[in-house]
Amino acid sequence: MHEFAPMSPTAWWIITVVKILVVFVVILITVAMLTLLERKIAAWIQDRLGPNRVGPTGLLQPIADGLKNILKEETLPEQANKVFFVLAPMISIMPAAITFAVVPFAAPLPTPWGLVDMILADLPIGILYILALTGLGVYGIVMAGWASNSKYSLLGGLRASAQMVSYEVSLGLSLIPVFILAGNVTLTQVVWDQQSGLGLWYAFPLGLSFFMFVIASFAETNRLPFDMAEAESELVTGYHTEYSSMKFSMFFIAEYSNMVTASALMATLFLGGWDIPFFTFDDMRVIAPGVVEGAQPAVWKTLLTLLSFAIKTFFFIVLFMWVRWTVPRFRYDQIMHLGWKVLLPVALGYIVVVAAAVLTLDSLGIEYGFLYGVILTIVNLIPTGIFLWIIDRDRVIAGSAAPGLEGKRRPGMPVGVTATPVRAGAAEEAAWR
């Protein structure tokens, strides 16, 4: 236990305002640079150069894009509902901008004015706060689709609302095993439990929750292969078809901000947050103003843990981009099937498995700690292996095919190559069989 001098109210207000400004500016700069990173990753995957004309290696391209959007003409369709048309991008960007407030991003920082907790607002209902705000973002998308008075925009908004409702349930259910182990919904407590309580990142004992949370996060952020709200090949650009200039940019800022928050949540909930693996010098938490449990805070520890958190978050951001440029878009019926007929029942069943395993271990008198987590990891391998095997056998996202034709080889195809053909006539079907 380490105690520091209490911070004066004036110093607390100044430091809080500084933290808010710094985090907000960093997120905006990160979002701008992520647009360049995604274009670079897309170019690398497609074997081309990408942006390389504005600034060294294209580093100033986001600034050029921002200036272009600011200077472009603001269009307002004549038949659109002008109030809601303007309000929709604001409603989309506001939840995305403030969701990050409850995510701890580094170890506590000791200063001459007192101990600074590296989180904007350590709410006792941190995860519930995030779930509530992420659910508000879809209102802006639906409002944009309806207010644009365009059939393409309306269809995009309706698709987004159905998709959000479908995967919000699975997203929340995938977090219940985390609550069972942590015994709390505060993100700082979740990080502490992975450091010194269980002593193991939740990605190991709760691997299936981890996979389901990642899948649901892709759907919640409208990223490929779940971008049915935009679906350029079908709906032009979906809900923001009629938007231009900065109103158009606000939707993209909201999307990338949500992607950053989702990546930070994955790192916090399942990879220990700012915890540095195999070391204990960073295992600490603030239990009261100026009171720290665990290791002694230090400036260099804060910087190292901030770097660790940034690396983990960056890994998931790159995963979002990698999937976008390598996986094709799902059909709408496949998305609904995956959400309601696969993720939902699997999440419910997994909650029962985790609860039963925890109850059994407690009844056997096994102390909560590293051994406890190892046993849960072994137990978790069974449902996770079954889930991944079912997905790998193409029993979840099946193609549009005649019953029984999946995996059949067409005449003339090379050996080892199969096809999933569209429904054929009886004679051709019999020939394939």
Which tens digit of pLDDT belongs to each residue from 316-350?
A: 999 999 998 888 888 888 888 888 888 899 999 99
211 domain-assigned: yes
409 domain-assigned: no
377 domain-assigned: no
20 domain-assigned: no
Whether the pLDDT of residue 433 is over 50: the answer is no
The whole model's pTM is what? 0.85
Domain that holds residue 195: 2-13+77-365
- Please give the share of the chain, as a percent, with pLDDT higher than 90: 25
Whether the pLDDT of residue 426 is over 50: the answer is no
Strands 284-288 and 114-116: unpaired
What's the average model confidence in pLDDT over 271-282?
Answer: 87
165 domain-assigned: yes
The label of the residue with tokens 């190892």 reads 374
The residue among 184, 209, 206 whose CA lies nearest residue 127 is 184
Number of domains into which the chain is organized: 1
pLDDT in tens, 49-100: 888 888 888 889 989 988 888 888 887 888 888 888 888 888 888 888 888 8
Burial zone of 389 (CB within 10 Å; 0-12 exposed, 13-18 middle, 19+ buried)? exposed
Of residues 328 and 315, more confidence is placed in: 315
| CA–CA dist 258, 79 (Å, integer) | 31
98: part of which helix (H) or strand (E)? helix 82-98
Taking the CA atoms of residue 183, residue 5, residue 281 and residue 377 in that order, the dihedral angle to the nearest 10 degrees is 0
193 domain-assigned: yes
Confidence of residue 398 (pLDDT cuts 50, 70, 90): low
Please list, in sequence order, all residues whose beta carbon lies within 8 angstroms of the beta carbon of residue 332, skipping any fewer than 6 positions away: 159, 228
Q: What's residue 78's pLDDT?
A: 80
Whether the pLDDT of residue 231 is over 80: the answer is no
Query: H helices of 330-397, where?
Result: 332-337, 344-363, 370-392
189 domain-assigned: yes
105 domain-assigned: yes
